[in-house]
Amino acid sequence: MTADGKIDTFERKGSLISSAKDKARVDELRASVDGILVGGKTLSGEAPKLTVKNEALRQDRIKQGRSENPIKIGVASNINISLGSDFIKVGPARVVIFTTPQTSISQIEQFRAHGVEVFVENSAQVDLTNMMHTLKKIGVDSLMVEGGGTINFELMRLGLVDELMIYIAPMIFGGAHSPTVADGFGLIREHVLSLKLSHVEQWEDGGVILRYKFL
């Protein structure tokens, strides 16, 4: 995020924030986990690849008996992306989607015909707690969330996050409607989520890494 807590500009086009060093850090983190999750706005707005970029890191995963890339996971009440989306076509990677009947049957059938695993929950929204249980069953023991502020907040609010890792870039985006790390409807002061700072690292490029544990 930026120094003023934004994860994108008001345009919401996936503006670059990370430095080259931070991109390498994120790639190493991706290579270490079983799955990477994003929400609907990130899926439709950015079509993320969610793959490990570094060849050596991918080969290390293979040597460990793991897939070349982590499982790519998308979650939204209505998934409206094309089969040509980088989220689906760039790999090799197992692709999993969690959605509701708001996603059309024809769209779901197309996803499945192209090897995408689709879990449909018969409700207005995906139950994120149930989703986490399902992910555990299909082999996701460690999950990285690269979502936007809405999915981030919901996962944190429901107590489904163990650790928050933040790179703070030396820049300001501003904007009352620019997305932040945790958006959603927010919490009253009595229900605040408490954190314990576990690590601080300052980089020469002006960036700062913070790691928090949820209490």
Give pLDDT tens digits for 129-177. 999 999 999 999 999 999 889 999 999 999 999 999 999 999 999 999 9
- For residue 8, being part of any structural domain is answered with no
Which of 131, 154, 135, 151 shows the shortest CA–CA distance to 143?
135
Structurally, the chain folds into a number of domains equal to 1
In this structure, what CATH number is given to the domain that contains residue 171? 3.40.430.10
Alpha-carbon distance 158 to 132, whole Å?
11
Residue 24 lies in a domain: yes
84 occurs within a structural domain = yes
pLDDT digit string (tens) for 45-77? 888 899 999 999 999 999 999 999 999 999 999
- The residues pairing with 72 across neighbouring beta strands, listed in sequence order, are 36, 95
Average pLDDT of the chain? 95
**Which tokens go with 168?**
């703070």
pLDDT of amino acid 123: 92
Mean pLDDT of 118-135: 96
> For strand 208-214 and strand 163-168, is the pairing parallel, antiparallel, or unpaired?
antiparallel
**Residue 199: strand, helix, or coil:** strand
